[in-house]
Amino acid sequence: MPILANICHFIWKKLKSSKVSNILRIFFGLSFVLYIILIMSAPTTPEAAKSACIFCNIANKLTDTEILFEDEEVCVFRDIKPASKYHVLVIPKRHIEDAKALVPADKELVERMLSVAKELLAKNNYSEDTARLGFHWPPFRSVHHLHLHVIAPEADLGYIARLVFMKNSYWFVSPEYVISKL
């Protein structure tokens, strides 16, 4: 890449000194500027390839977060601040801002997220009835990438967690509610 840049610089210097038409000079000048912008913006390291969204990075395996389950559409990992014995997040691999940003075409995806959550609860010997499942409802959300909280048993939720993950509140809604709106 630096060799190419040197060649460009050499051509630019030649153009400046020679009697080339102004239009051609502008054309080469603009091409040179564009080339520099492309070099500057190209991701060169895995670090540069990382997105600003932490959950996209987890889904793309750019972090060392342990993935508990994944398929083509969703992925599951532990919540970093577990509110009970079992607390995982089911996220779509595609970046979706929040539950409000969902469109009717996403209905199957949300249903898939819910069925994955139920399968994991059963696999870990927790009953659905004693678990707390839900989505943050904007503007009350933490990470701006849609995630389904799966918490069990809900009886173990502390005072603050009971508030944050309050069933069918203005800020935390059930997956069934989200699906019914699509």
Vertex 136 angle, CA 132 and 139, to 5°: 160
Looking at the Cβ atoms of 59 and 121, the one nearer to Zn ion is 59
**74-78: strand order across its sheet:** 67-70, 74-78, 86-92, 148-152, 132-136, 172-173
Asked if 93 touches Zn ion (CB under 5 A), the answer is no
Q: Estimate to the nearest angstrom the gap between the alpha carbon of 37 and the chain centroid.
A: 26
Asked if 78 touches Zn ion (CB under 5 A), the answer is no
Single residue of 131, 145, 148, 178 touching Zn ion by CB under 5 A: 145
Mark whether 147 is an active-site residue: yes
How many CA atoms are closer than 13 Å to the CA of 87, on its beta-carbon side?
13
Region near Zn ion per CB under 5 A, out of 4-12, 105-113, 141-149, 154-162: 141-149
Q: What is the x/- site pattern for Zn ion, positions 99-138, by CB under 5 A?
A: ----------------------------------------
Most distant CA atoms of the chain, gap in Å: 82
Is the link from the previous residue into 92 a cis peptide, with omega within 30 of 0? no
Looking at the Cβ atoms of 87 and 145, the one nearer to Zn ion is 145
Asked if 53 touches Zn ion (CB under 5 A), the answer is yes
Q: One-letter amino acid identity for 177?
A: Y
Region near Zn ion per CB under 5 A, out of 16-24, 25-33, 95-103, 115-123: 95-103
Tell the smallest beta-carbon distance from residue 129 to Zn ion (Å).
22
Asked if 8 touches Zn ion (CB under 5 A), the answer is no
Choose among 111, 107, 174: nearest CA to 137: 174
Residue 177 structure tokens? 């509610």
Region near Zn ion per CB under 5 A, out of 2-10, 89-97, 155-163, 169-177: 89-97
Residues classed as catalytic: 147
Q: Which residues bind Zn ion (CB under 5 A)?
A: 53, 55-56, 95, 142, 145
